[in-house]
Amino acid sequence: MTEADRPQLYLITPPTFDAEVFPAKLASVLDSAEIACLRLSLSSRDEDEIARAADALREVAHARDVALVIEKHVQLVERLGLDGVHLTDGARNVRKIRKDLGQDAIIGSFCGNTRHEGISAAEAGADYVAFGPVGETALGDGTRAENDLFAWWSDMIEVPVVAEGALTEDLVRSLTPVTDFFAFGEEIWRHEDPAAALAVLLKAMG
């Protein structure tokens, strides 16, 4: 598989991190591989904490031409100088948010394992649709997005598709021909050396 045919890389931040320490760790990962997009995905509901984290990561990401989107907090996109938003409720708000944020903003939509929801999000103006989890996890109801969903999407729909959630080397290997992006989060951050963990997953792409 040529470099151009390979899925692109998308990183998801840990749900909590030290804004003093994490940016340096992130920088080393961004310098180790070509990353297309970074998602700020904090569990915190503290606006100041989210803003501080966004400021620290924006500097690191934009210095390397990596787009930074925030999960859910649409109101913070323009205020914090971010590139867009990742929605977690499928197609529901895509059309309205596209209108609010304009054509240049990145709007992504997580659609679980539902083909219909994905199509609706794409038609409403999403820049990408994410399906998952693709691996075994106790999160949510544990229903997986299977390989054939990605294969169908890649054949039928032009809007890029992202595979995320409990990815393993084997899953990366099997999904590489049928996805446009892999989104890695805890798969790399739980390791002492996230850049090395990412390299292992990259190698599985062939």
- Tokens, residue 206: 């062939």
Cα radius of gyration rounded to whole Å, the chain: 16
Q: What is the pLDDT of residue 160?
A: 98
Instruction: Answer for the pair 112, 132: CB distance below 8 angstroms, yes or no.
Output: yes
Residues 6+ apart with CB under 8 A from 41: 12, 13, 14, 15, 71, 86, 185
pLDDT at 140 over 90: no
Q: In degrees rounded to 5, what are phi and psi of residue 12?
A: -120, 130
pTM across the whole model:
0.96
* 178 φ/ψ angles, rounded to the nearest 5 degrees: -125, 10
The predicted pLDDT at position 6 comes to: 93
pLDDT > 70 fraction of the chain, expressed in percent and rounded = 98
Band (141; pLDDT cuts 50, 70, 90): confident
- CB 145 within 8 Å of CB 164: no
Whether pLDDT at 2 is above 70: no
The pLDDT of residue 55 is 96
Domains and CATH numbers, the chain: 3-204 (3.20.20.70)
